[in-house]
């Protein structure tokens, strides 16, 4: 359970770095979705 949240956060950070917009909201959304 916890590791899935960590993985979701990492994916969110990577996606946020690529898009360079809404990074914080992006990783938060990924954690909620994950």
Burial of 12 (0-12, 13-18, 19+ CB in 10 A): buried
State which residues form the domain around 16.
2-33
Number of domains in the chain: 1
Residue corresponding to tokens 């979705």 = 33
Average pLDDT over every residue of 3-32: 71
Residue count of the chain, please give it.
34
pLDDT at residue 7 greater than cutoff 80? yes
Q: Which residue has the higher pLDDT, 4 or 16?
A: 4
pLDDT at residue 25 greater than cutoff 70? no
Query: What's this model's pTM, rounded to 2 decimal places?
Result: 0.46
Sequence-distant (6+) residues with CB within 8 A of 22 are 16
Whole-angstrom Cα distance, residue 1 to residue 22? 25
The CA-CA-CA angle for residues 12, 21, 26, to 5°, reads: 25
Q: Which residue has the higher pLDDT, 5 or 21?
A: 5
Determine the pLDDT at residue 8: 78
pLDDT at residue 23 greater than cutoff 60? no
């Amino acid at each position: 359970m916890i590791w899935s949240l960590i993985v979701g956060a990492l994916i969110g950070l990577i996606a946020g770095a690529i898009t360079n917009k809404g990074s914080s909201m992006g990783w938060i959304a990924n954690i909620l979705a994950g």
